[in-house]
């Protein structure tokens, strides 16, 4: 399973083998390394913060896969069930003539549910910033669906993407599962949807998974699992900084904290300093008071109406929404207005 917010490996390190069964593979060269600059800038802020996309190094990605399988973490399971239950109806809305375009597809696990329901679909494009991971996942998908034209585009999908030939003369339908939209600030979420509407063009559609506002206890449990996997995921950021940016963090002097912020409609994740301390990162020194935090993630939750308003503001028309019986999660089919 994938988060869709992976940070990159540098562009063009591995040539695409001529033998892979992909219809197309393009590297738009968006992958630039801003980890050091972002961390130093974030730690220098009066309220320390580091962008959530930096969770996903190899260890963080593996921990995220484990989060997705946790009993407490309902989004993955619930969304998968919604896709399985309603894939017939979703397939009809997408249409066999469309090119399906997944934004930040990662391991491309969820889209298989749709592809299995659409044996006549002609083309699929996966866009992801993580080049080698994308190449692997798209190649495996092409092997498993030999009748489908599969293309990969290594790009930052928050920027406009010129889609490859297999998607050009077709209606285009985007796929953005996992409630990754929730990790964008609402402004950035609207900007992203506007960009996607531009990529998809007139007549296009978007199938998107969005986590819902719900009982605080259910929400907080999902981000404070009993096995401490989410805590390890959060704290791994410090280990990554130590390894990649010559950091001197002592992870045991920090603790994971996740809580629901009702005013902002989001789960916040923080790393709380257990003591007054001084930490070196990339040749700079940062001071922490006891109890001071690094804000590491926001995960916004929407009501169905709230999400529709956001989508409409960004140039989409909501066509169909599916939710589970407990109203935990939603999947929306939107059309470019």
293-322: contacts with ligand AVI (CB under 6 A): 297, 299
Q: Say if CB 24 and CB 151 are below 8 A apart.
A: yes
The token pair that represents 211 in the structure block: 């986590």
Hey, is 323 helix, strand or coil? strand
Q: Say if CB 183 and CB 299 are below 8 A apart.
A: yes
Q: What DSSP designation does 180 have?
A: G
Which residue in 67, 91, 94, 281 binds ligand AVI (CB under 6 A)? Answer: 67
Number of residues located near ligand AVI, criterion CB under 6 A: 12
Q: Which is nearer to ligand AVI, 70 or 282 (CB)?
A: 70
Q: With CB under 6 A as the contact rule, which of the stretches 19-27, 113-121, 173-181, 329-337 interacts with ligand AVI?
A: 173-181
Which residue in 152, 178, 186, 205 binds ligand AVI (CB under 6 A)? Answer: 178
Q: Between 242 and 281, how does the x/- string for binding to ligand AVI read (CB under 6 A)?
A: ----------------------------------------
Residue 216 to residue 295: CA distance in whole angstroms: 20
Which residue in 107, 130, 139, 183 binds ligand AVI (CB under 6 A)? Answer: 183
Which residue in 35, 157, 192, 223 binds ligand AVI (CB under 6 A)? Answer: 223
Distance of CA 38 to the CA centre of its chain: 19
The token pair that represents 326 in the structure block: 């407990």
- Which run of H or of E encompasses 312? helix 304-313
The token pair that represents 2 in the structure block: 């994938």
The token pair that represents 311 in the structure block: 């989508």
Q: Is 179 in the site for ligand AVI (CB under 6 A)?
A: yes
Distance of CA 112 to the CA centre of its chain: 17
The minimum distance between CB 299 and ligand AVI, in angstroms, equals 3
Which residue in 152, 182, 204, 247 binds ligand AVI (CB under 6 A)? Answer: 182
The minimum distance between CB 168 and ligand AVI, in angstroms, equals 30
Q: With CB under 6 A as the contact rule, which of the stretches 18-26, 174-182, 185-193, 327-335 interacts with ligand AVI?
A: 174-182
Q: Which residues have C-beta within 8 Å of that of residue 334, sequence separation ≥ 6?
A: 205, 206, 207, 208, 311, 316, 317, 318, 319
Binding site for ligand AVI (CB under 6 A): 3, 67, 75, 178-180, 182-183, 223, 230, 297, 299
């Amino acid at each position: 399973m994938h988060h869709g917010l992976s940070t990159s490996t540098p562009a063009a390190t591995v040539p695409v083998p001529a033998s892979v069964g992909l219809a197309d593979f393009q590297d738009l060269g968006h992958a630039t390394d801003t980890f050091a600059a972002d961390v130093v800038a974030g730690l220098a802020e009066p309220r320390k913060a580091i962008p959530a996309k930096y969770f996903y190094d190899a260890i963080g990605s593996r921990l995220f896969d484990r989060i997705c399988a946790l009993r407490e973490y309902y989004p993955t399971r619930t969304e998968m069930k919604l896709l399985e239950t309603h894939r017939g109806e979703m397939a009809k809305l997408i249409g066999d003539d469309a090119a399906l375009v997944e934004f930040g597809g990662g391991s491309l696990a969820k889209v298989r549910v749709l592809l299995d329901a659409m044996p006549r679909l002609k083309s699929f494009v996966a866009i992801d910033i993580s080049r080698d991971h994308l190449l692997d996942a798209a190649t495996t998908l092409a092997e498993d669906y030999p009748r489908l034209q599969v293309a990969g585009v290594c790009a930052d999908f928050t920027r406009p993407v010129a889609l490859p030939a297999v998607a050009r003369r077709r209606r285009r339908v985007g796929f953005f599962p996992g409630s990754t939209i929730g990790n964008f600030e609402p402004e950035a979420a609207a900007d992203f949807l506007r960009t996607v509407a531009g990529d998809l063009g007139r007549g296009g559609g978007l199938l998107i998974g969005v986590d819902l506002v719900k009982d605080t206890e259910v929400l907080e449990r999902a981000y404070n699992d009993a096995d401490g996997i989410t805590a390890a995921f959060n704290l791994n950021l410090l280990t990554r900084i130590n390894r990649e940016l010559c950091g001197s963090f002592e992870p045991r002097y920090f603790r994971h904290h996740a809580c629901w912020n009702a005013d902002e409609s989001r789960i916040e994740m923080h790393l709380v300093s257990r003591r007054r301390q001084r930490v070196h990162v990339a040749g700079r020194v940062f001071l922490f008071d006891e109890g001071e935090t690094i804000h590491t993630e926001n995960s916004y939750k929407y009501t169905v109406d709230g999400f529709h308003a956001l989508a409409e503001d960004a140039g989409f028309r909501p066509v169909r929404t599916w939710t589970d019986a407990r109203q935990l999660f939603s999947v929306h089919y939107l059309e470019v207005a």
